[in-house]
Amino acid sequence: MNALDNILNRVSARTLKKPHPTQDEMNKVFRGALRAPDHAWLRPSSFIQVTGDGIDKLSEIFEEYAKTVPGIKDEIITKYKNAPYRAPMIIILVNSIKDHPKVPEIEQKLSTAASAQNILLSLNALGYSAIWRTGKLAFNPFVASKLNLEANQEILGYIYVGTADGTNKKIPELNVEDFVSYL
């Protein structure tokens, strides 16, 4: 696929089914993720690939977290518990902050965000679909500790991965002139 067509035609998919990418394919996807711009090459991005039993474990963690929320309704606990089953594979985006005189925290997070877009584009190029989700389960210290993350590490989001179930949604046609000014 032409690289520019890949960018122009990528679309997120909410309903994802099997198959998910093979490990060979994911290794390429992760190599692409690690080519995101990275000021001073601090390597702030890492990834947790979740499939199979891992999805069950993540579901348990989400449910455990839900039960710590005071006054939470049963239906919300069930929603969190079921969340990981929305796709056969999930990539957890982890950001590790390092002290650096020229690279503030925000730049390190932006680098991981760029790696996420590389993941979405690589998956699209390989014929898979995905959606980047956050919500209360991202930036969540309880979930991070259950995943054995360190104090300087944070979950920036979850990329749900699989094969699109149904037809892709229509890509909105935006007028470039509404978003670009010229100096």
Ligand X SMILES: Cc1cc2nc3c(=O)[nH]c(=O)nc-3n(C[C@H](O)[C@H](O)[C@H](O)COP(=O)(O)O)c2cc1C
Residue ranges in contact with ligand X by CB under 6 A: 11-12, 131-135, 157
Closest alpha carbon to 92 in 30, 20, 11: 30
Round to the nearest angstrom and report the end-to-end CA distance of the chain: 34
Closest alpha carbon to 96 in 113, 80, 114, 109: 109
Q: Give the burial string for 151-166 (b: 16+ CB within 10 Å, else e).
A: eebbbbbbbbbbbbee
Find out whether 87 and 161 touch, Cβ atoms under 8 Å: yes
For residue 18, what are its two tokens? 């099997």
Residues 6+ apart with CB under 8 A from 69: 76
Smaller CB separation from ligand X, 97 or 113 = 113
10: left (phi over 0), alpha (psi -120 to 50) or beta: beta
